[in-house]
Structure formats: structure tokens, C-alpha cells
Amino acid sequence: MVDTSAPLLEMRNISKDFFGNQVLTDVSFSLHKGEILGLVGENGAGKSTLMNILFGMDVIQLTGGYEGEMLVDGKIVDYTSSFDAIADGIGMVHQEFSLLPDFTVAENILLNREPEKYSFISEVFGERLNSLDRNSMNEKSKKAIGKLGVAINSSMLVGRMPVGHKQFTEIARELSKESTRILVLDEPTAVLTEQEASILLSAVRSLANEGIAIIFISHRLQEIIDVCDTVLIMRDGKIVKNEKAQDLTIAQIARWMVGREVTHHADRRSFDYEHSSVMLSIKNLWVDMPGETVRNVSLDVHKGEIIGIGGLAGQGKLGIPNGAMGLFTAGGSITFEGKEIALNEPRRFLDAGMAFVSEDRRGVGLLLDESLDWNISFAAMQVNDKFLKKYLNGMLMWRDEKQIQAVAQQYIDALEIKCTSYRQKAKELSGGNQQKICLAKAFALTPKLLFVSEPTRGIDIGAKSLVLQALRDYNEKSGTTIVMISSELEELRAICDRIAIVTDGRISGILPAETPSEDFGLLMVSKRGNTEEKPA
Amino acid sequence: MSKLRETRGQKIIGALEKNAVPILFGIICLIGIPFSGYSLGYLGQEIIVRISRNSFLIIALLVPIMAGMGLNFGMTLGAMAGQIGLIFMVDWGIVGIPGMILAMIISTPISAFLGWMCGKILNMAKGREMVTSYIIGFFINGVYQLIVLYGMGSVIPIKNTSLVLPRGYGIRNTVNLITIRKALDNLLAIRFLGISIPFATLLIIALLCIFIVWFRRTKLGQDMRAVGQDMEVARAAGIRVEHTRIVSVVISTILAGYGMILYLQNMGTLNTYNSHMQIGMFSIAALLVGGASVARASIGNVFLGVSLFHLMFVVSPPAGKRIIGDAQLGEYFRVFVSYGVITIALVLYEIRKRRKAARGGLLLAQDQVDSGEVDA
Ligand SMILES: Nc1ncnc2c1ncn2[C@@H]1O[C@H](COP(=O)(O)OP(=O)(O)OP(=O)(O)O)[C@@H](O)[C@H]1O
Ligand SMILES: [Mg+2]
């Protein structure tokens, strides 16, 4: 597969700083036709920045360019814009989506590359008056989607699709460019469920077999080992290892990434939830969330516990918090601290003292152009009038900057958010650090009950246990009850007291976290769900 | 979590809220009709007249909305260009349909230039297009007055003395367009159920509608929709964002010029210093009455809007007289209501936008739910 002749891409001694903040130092590597190169490193190690340089992104130019040189096909290149890179056959799927919500999948995939039907009017008024060839647009996008091995309706509006499908749409867009020979995927699997991820991985392999060189960034190290030929490990902007993937283990990679032994789990604890009162009672909940339908779920959440909700992708675990908060049409009843909470009204949910960190952080999470302290405190200010100095009996309210900054600093330290200061803009943080800001934002709300969905998505292996520990600490120190939804069973088992497994939209069982994984596995595949809680 | 689905109750309330303006006007008209004492035949005739007179102008507004630039208050620029075309037409003594065609030919380069300039300026004021285009309208009105009031007859030769003010230069307050009055309306006019239908005019409007529908499907139309949704994403895909926006304003301005000529051919007189200023306001108000918003307008909105808006003006004077005893009310209403509608529609739009933003963009998808395919 990997051909050993001249490299397709070579980066030599690349260095980059953002106004004095050295982000990349002397990075060199090469990439061959048909090779899959894994790029791993902690949040903020400089992976995305390196790829932005390769792709000629404007941010790089605007922040003073880079040092070192790049060679494509043996020729030195210097892309002044991403269009140069695209013309040279480089395709990139960014960590953030760039899709138009009101356009269909086909329209997005072929944006500005639409096949056109010739019309005589264009002879007079220019090519832009050719009409679009919708049939061939659909065909082309179907073909690109087909390469990925997924089923997505190409005439569906992107704004109405689940995140996983958006991700596939973005990749399909790169594949639909015939000239693409180097494909950069920046954390493509972060928003995907395990099944979707494995579909993607096999697609990546078959693309490589066709001769496309792929740079694959991921925090899921198993994926890296499984799919890549070579692995580049970055730490603090330097390449610390460049190894064949074959004989690597997760532990090895993690150690090189972090520079120390990675201890994985928070300690188990025993929490007697049965003797604590029921805080949230969900009765006969159904949720109409596409791809995550919930059917007749009843669940009691006890005060002070950390309860996990797990299950295979598409079975409905994500539907539960989304429906409870009212983001998707839902029915049934939810009682919180003895009071019934109206469904389908997010504000009621928040006012009652609950909060939700969504799995779709790219869509709704952050005010990218604002500073970190503002991002962290904004929701709390809106929802429960925190961080405000009140005068004249509350008639006049003033932001309490000192307090806002103190709180922001506190979370930046606690979650080890890599930034220059709380004044930095959210968009300047690396993806994983933005993720941590979302958590901090929810913590700052000081909810009585917190739903967190996929809290460690996009977080590096070293910081993962940190985030989990932070959730546990938060639960213990502030007494916040936590409902954690995750597709990673081991993560749930690490900090939850008990775990409910959702299968086919129903809870197929609830078991204490120390139950062996196999038993959970059985619940996940049990066909007929059972809504009654099994005694622990 | 990229979208918010509503319950059925919320959907109905949402639909009512979204269509509040047309519903309100529908109700006012329904109440007013019996009081006015007009026959349905008469009202039907009036609506046909207004549709043929005004729709072309209103359709001219659709293209910039498609490109995400909001309501093009700058359409008055096109109206001025059309008027200049008409003044020359009268001066040169070309009559009838050839005269109209001549006026259109003269107006085209003027409209295109003004539209291009307006588009350039609007690109410097992204996000504040409406206010800016409104102000540009005032500014160019000043230039227009300078040319028409001082330039014509002095620097620019005008032979026809009946056009010129007694002092020897400058165009009179009203220009008689008797030579083209209803030239198009009467062409191929047919009578149907006692209503006279200006077939040729309606045919042209129908052709314009087909043009708009076709235009949406062209590459340029697609680019405009993309630019309207997200300039950054469009730019990243290589679409020439600024250029596309300028083109949308140019098209709108040229169409507005033609629309103005069509409008004045029906009216038969040109109020040299007023017609264009009012027309922008009335066209925008009519479109909003038809249920359009700053971000979304369809051909359906145009015709519903013209019908409701003008029906109200037809019935309000006699109805006003019956109810309050004052026929002046109708005239007063006209201006008051147009400004009122625009204000309310803009405020509602802003409120909705804020509310959406405050909920973290969760409602983003909601707007498109019932709009279906025609969303620009
Ligand atoms: N536009 C910018 N301005 C200033 N600093 C930036 C900018 N973009 C990135 N940085 C900084 O560069 C460093 C590297 O960021 P980068 O996005 O490359 O990390 P990453 O390895 O992709 O991390 P993650 O795994 O979290 O996505 C970070 O410390 C980040 O704060
Ligand atoms: Mg990154």
C-alpha cells in the first residue's frame, strides 16, 4: 500500500507562533501516496495549527505566517490561501463544521462546484446564469456519500440532520473533488458514534487503497492504532515520536503524548442512592429525536448520585436529556423536586435548576468571538442572575467583573484549560479546550442537577481523567446530582454510581457501576427493552 | 441538538405569530368591505388594477432578500432612473409602447450604475444593509433633484418647453405621461365577468415571476442563497461574496426602474419630485403585509401583499366616512399604515432574532420549517 518512493508531502522544520506564543517548533515529517498518518497529541499540542498551515488557512497569514517549508510532490509550495491548497489536491475537514443549514446535503457537498446545465442566456450574461443540474448534483453527491459507505439522503436539509451525518457530509464534500490526493481529517470521529466511526474508518482505509494520502487526527487512540500506518506524536508543538503504528499500544502513545504515566480512572466510591430522596422523576417519557428516539422511559434520579446512561448508538440514550430539556418534541412527565416541569420549554428546565451540556457543542456551545470569562459566566448571568451587582433593590444591575474573572480563573485552573488568560477569545482555543469551557459554563450555572452528554468528546487521553475527576469533585463538593450520557462504557463505569442502559429507545436495565462490563454488554444487545428498573 | 421541534400548539401559535401581519390586514379588509358599500365587482377590478400597477416593483425586492441583504430601500434609485428615462421619452416625443421601451433602455445603465454604487456601499456596511440603503436613497434623491431641478433645461438640453418650469430650466412638478398612459394596459386588454383585465401587463408580470423562479435555480441564484445564509462559509467555498451581493442589488435596481415605468404608464402622470420616494415605502410595506420577512419573501407574498394592502386603501375612505364620518381618514391611513407596518415588521423580526440568539441558536431551524422550498 504505502509506496516508498518520493513523498507526496513533506513538511520541513515548521515553526509557528501566535504573537509570541510558540505553538509549533521545528516540525518535520513526510507523507506518501496511500499512507494513513495518525497525528496525536494533547489538547493544544498544535495539531490543528499544523494542518491549518498545510491548508493555507487565512488565520495563519493573519497571525504572521510560519517558518519552514512545505513540499508537495517534491516542489516547494507556499499557499497564500486555502484555494491554492485545494487546487493542489489537498482536502481538509475542519474541527468545526462549515455547512449551510438551509441547503440540502447535495447543495452543500457541491457548494460552488455545482454541475450546470448550459443555457443560451449564459452566452450573453455570463456563466453564472447557467441553471444547476440538480440530477447530476444528486448523483455526484450520492457517489461521494457512497464512498463513505453510509446512507444519507442527499436531498435532506443539513440543518435538520444529526451531527454524525453532518460530519459525513463534510467528508463527502472533500471526496467529491476529483483532484483530492491528500485528505486531512481533524478529529472526524469525535462527533460520531462508535458504529459511525467504524464505518468511517473502513471508508478511510479504502480511500487510502485508492492512493489518497490521509492525515488523521484523533483522540481515540485505538482508532489510530487500528487505521494508521504511521503515528506522529506531538507534545507542546514538537514531534516527540514518529513510529509505525503496528506495534504501538495505547499506553505507550499516551505516555509519549503526556510525558508521564497516564492514570486512568477515578476511584470507585460507594454511594447509597437508595437512601437518598428522589430528585428527578421521569415518567413515560417519549422523545421524537431523529435517530435517537426514546420510547416510554421511566427513571428516578436520586439526590447526590452520578447516574450514567449508556447504550449503543442510535438506541435513544441521547434522546433522554435532549427531550427532558425540551430541545425535541417530547411527551410524558418530568417531576423535579416534587414539581412537574413542563416539557418542550427549555427555559422551564433551566429555571428549575437543571442544566445540560449538549453533545453537539459545535452548534450551540460557545460565543466564539467573546472572551473566556464571558463565555463561562454568560449563561449563569442570564438564567440565575449570577455575577451581577445589584443596586436599588435590583433595579439596576451591573456585571461583577471581578467575580466573573475569579470564577473563570478557577475553572481554567481546575480543568487545566490551555489558554493565555481568561481574556483570550474562545475561538483561539484548541478544540478540546473549547470543550472544557462548555463544561465550565455549566458548572458556573451551579445547577442542582446537571445533564452532561459525551463530556470527554474531543478531550485528550490525559485530560480525560481530569474531566471525569472534575465531574466527580463537582458532584461531591457542590452536591450537584449528575446524569452523564456517554457512549464509552468504561468512562461511565469510572465515575458513575449506577448505569442505565438504553436499548431500542427503552431502558433495558440499570446496574451498579461495578458490575462487569459483560453484563452491560448483554443489556445493550437485549432486543426487547424492559422499562422496569431491575433491582441493583 | 441542532434543531428545535415544537409541539403542535406551539406550531399553531408560531404560524399565527409569523403570519400576524397578513392575518391582521385580512381581518381589517373583511370588516371594511361591507362598510365601504363597494360591490365585489368593483373591488375585483381595483385589485386587478393594483396588481398590474404595483407587483413588478415589489418583485424587484425579492433578489436582495435572497442574498441576505434584507429589504432593499435602495429600490428608489431604480425608480429615479426610470423617471429620468420617462422624462427623456416625453421630451423626445416617442409615444406608446416604443416610448416605454425607450424609457427602459435609458433607465438601464443609470439603474445599473446606481445599483452598483449602492451595492459597493452596502458591502462596507454588512449587517446594516437596510438602514444604509434607506440613507443612500435620500442621498441619491438629492443628486436626482440637483439634476432634474437645475441640470435639465440648462446643462442637459430639453426641447419640450411644456416639461420645463417657467423660469427656463428644471422639470415641472408634474409631467404628463398621456402619450403612454395605459399603452401597455390597453394592449390585448380583455373583459372577463365585467372586469377589464390588462392582459399584456399581467403577461409581463408573469414573465418576471418565471424569471425569478428560473433565477433561483441558476448558479448565480444558488450563490446568492449561499451568501445569504453564511458569508464565511460561502467565501470558504470560493464564492465571490462581495460581487454576488453587488449583482443582487444591481438586478433589483434595474427591475425597480422597469417597474416604475410600468407603474407610471398606468398612472399617466409623473410627480417628478415625489413619486419615487413614496414608491419604495409602499412596495416594501405591501411585501411585508403579504407575510414576507426581512430574510424570506416569495412571489406568493408579493401578490397577497398587493391585494391586501391596496384593498385596504380602497375600502378605508368610504368605510372611514361611514364609521367616523371622515373620508380623509383613508389618505391619512395610507401613509400611517405603511410606515407602521414596516416598523412593526422590522421590530418583530429583530425580536425574533434576539430571542433566537439568546437561546443559543437553538431555534435556528424553526424558521425554515414551514417555508419549505421557497426560502429566499
Ligand atoms: N487564532 C489563534 N490565536 C491565538 N492562539 C491560537 C490560535 N489558534 C490556536 N491557538 C493556540 O495554539 C495552540 C495549539 O492549538 P491547536 O488548535 O493547534 O491544538 P490541537 O492540537 O488541535 O488541540 P485539540 O486536540 O484540543 O484540538 C493552543 O494553545 C491555542 O490556544
Ligand atoms: Mg484541534
pLDDT in tens, B215-240: 998 999 999 999 999 898 898 888 99
**Interface with B, mutate which of A111, A118, A348, A437 (most B CBs under 10 A):** A111
Domain ranges for chain B, please list them: 2-370
Q: Which three cell numbers stand for residue B139?
A: 442621498
Tens of pLDDT along B78-124?
A: 999 999 999 999 999 998 999 999 999 999 999 999 999 999 999 99
CB A374 within 8 A of CB A422: no
Query: Where on the phi/psi map is residue B343: left (φ > 0), alpha (ψ -120 to 50), or beta?
Result: alpha
Candidates B218, B220, B365; nearest CB to A160: B365
Average pLDDT value over all residues in chain A: 85
Tens of pLDDT along A180-223?
A: 899 999 888 877 777 788 888 988 998 899 889 999 999 888 89
Q: Is the CB of A498 under 6 A from ligand 1?
A: no
Mean pLDDT of A37-63: 90
Cα gap A421→A412, rounded to integer Å? 9
Helix (H, G, I), strand (E, B) or coil at A448: coil
pLDDT at residue B265 tops 90: yes
For chain B, say whether A159 makes contact (Cβ under 8 Å): yes
Tens of pLDDT along B14-24?
A: 677 778 788 88
pLDDT at residue A527 tops 60: no
Q: Which three cell numbers stand for residue A336?
A: 423535579
Q: What is the dihedral of CA A70, A71, A72, A76, to 10 degrees?
A: 100
Q: Could you tell me the distance, in angstroms and rounded to a whole number, from the CA of residue A250 to the centre of ligand 1?
A: 24
Report the alpha-carbon angle A89-A218-A107, nearest 5: 50
pLDDT at residue A417 tops 60: yes
Across the interface, whether the CB atoms of A364 and B217 are under 8 A apart is answered no
Q: How many residues comprise chain B?
A: 376
Cα gap A4→A413, rounded to integer Å? 46
**How far, rounded to the nearest angstrom, does the alpha carbon of residue B342 sit from its chain's CA centroid?**
12
Tens of pLDDT along B317-348?
A: 777 777 777 766 666 766 777 778 778 877 87
Across the interface, whether the CB atoms of A132 and B2 are under 8 A apart is answered no
- A393 or B47: whose pLDDT is higher? B47
Tens of pLDDT along A336-364?
A: 999 999 888 888 888 888 988 888 765 55
- B367 or B328: whose pLDDT is higher? B328
For chain B, say whether A382 makes contact (Cβ under 8 Å): yes
**Selection from A249, A203, A201 nearest residue A228 by Cα:** A201
Residues of A with Cβ-Cβ distance to B225 under 8 angstroms: 102-103
Mean pLDDT of A154-168: 84
Is the ipTM, as predicted for this complex, more than 0.90?
no
For chain A, say whether B365 makes contact (Cβ under 8 Å): yes
For chain B, say whether A443 makes contact (Cβ under 8 Å): no
Which residue type sits at B29?
C
DSSP state of A533: P
Minimal C-alpha gap between A58 and chain B (Å): 10
Candidates B1, B7, B10; nearest CB to A358: B1
For chain A, say whether B220 makes contact (Cβ under 8 Å): yes
Q: Is the CB of A46 under 6 A from ligand 1?
A: yes
Q: Which atom of ligand 1 is nearest to the CA of A434?
A: 26
Mean pLDDT of A291-295: 81
**Interface with B, mutate which of A84, A120, A125, A128 (most B CBs under 10 A):** A128
Q: Could you tell me the distance, in angstroms and rounded to a whole number, from the CA of residue A426 to the centre of ligand 2?
A: 13
**Selection from A448, A427, A279 nearest residue A362 by Cα:** A427
Helix (H, G, I), strand (E, B) or coil at A365: coil
Cα gap B204→B258, rounded to integer Å? 11
Residues of A with Cβ-Cβ distance to B295 under 8 angstroms: none
Ligand nearest to the CA of A59: 1
Compute the count of residue pairs across chains A and B with CB atoms less than 8 Å apart: 103
For chain A, say whether B375 makes contact (Cβ under 8 Å): yes
Residue A28: count other Cβ atoms within 10 Å of its Cβ.
13
Ligand nearest to the CA of A49: 1
For chain B, say whether A128 makes contact (Cβ under 8 Å): yes
Q: Is the CB of A59 under 6 A from ligand 1?
A: yes
- B327 or A496: whose pLDDT is higher? A496
> What share of chain A has pLDDT > 90, as a percent?
30
Which of the four CATH numbers 1.10.10, 2.20.28, 1.10.3470, 3.40.1350 does domain B2-370 have?
1.10.3470
Across the interface, whether the CB atoms of B358 and A382 are under 8 A apart is answered yes
Mean pLDDT of A369-373: 87
- Residue A429: pLDDT band (50, 70, 90) is confident
| Strand positions, DSSP E, A360-492 | 388-391, 396-399, 449-453, 481-485
Tens of pLDDT along A69-97?
A: 999 988 999 888 888 998 899 999 887 77
Residue B372 has a pLDDT of 31
Q: Could you tell me the distance, in angstroms and rounded to a whole number, from the CA of residue A416 to the centre of ligand 2?
A: 16
- Residue B360: pLDDT band (50, 70, 90) is very low
Closest-approach residue (CA) in chain B for A331? B7
Cα gap A240→A257, rounded to integer Å? 8
Across the interface, whether the CB atoms of A327 and B4 are under 8 A apart is answered yes
Q: Is the CB of A450 under 6 A from ligand 1?
A: no
- B77 or A315: whose pLDDT is higher? B77
Nearest Cα residue to atom 17 of ligand 1: A430
- Residue whose cell numbers read 492525515: A215
Mean pLDDT of B114-137: 92
Cα gap B231→B234, rounded to integer Å? 5
Nearest Cα residue to atom 29 of ligand 1: A44
Residue A196 has a pLDDT of 80
pLDDT at residue A259 tops 80: no
Across the interface, whether the CB atoms of A112 and B368 are under 8 A apart is answered no
DSSP state of B188: T
Residue B330 has a pLDDT of 62
Cα gap B128→A445, rounded to integer Å? 34
A484 CB-side CA count, 13 A: 35
Cα gap A170→A249, rounded to integer Å? 30
- Residue B7: pLDDT band (50, 70, 90) is low
Cα gap B1→B361, rounded to integer Å? 10
Ligand nearest to the CA of A434: 1
Residue A527 burial (C-beta neighbours within 10 Å; 0-12, 13-18, 19+)? exposed
> According to DSSP H, which parts of chain B are helical?
8-18, 20-36, 40-59, 62-66, 75-92, 96-124, 129-145, 199-216, 219-229, 231-236, 241-267, 275-289, 299-324, 328-358, 366-369
Closest-approach residue (CA) in chain A for B369? A160
Helix (H) or strand (E) holding A87: helix A82-87
Tens of pLDDT along A239-255?
A: 998 989 888 888 888 88
Report the alpha-carbon angle B191-B193-B194, nearest 5: 60
A485 CB-side CA count, 13 A: 25
What are the respective helix, strand and coil percentages of chain B, to the nearest 5? Answer: 70, 5, 25
Q: Which of A14, A17, A18 to mutate to test the pocket of ligand 1 (most atoms within 8 A of CB)?
A: A18
Across the interface, whether the CB atoms of B217 and A132 are under 8 A apart is answered yes
In B28-59, which positions are buried (b, 16+ CB within 10 angstroms) versus exposed (e)? bbeebbeebebeeeebbbbbbbbbbbbbbbbb
Minimal C-alpha gap between B313 and chain A (Å): 37
Cα gap A336→A278, rounded to integer Å? 9
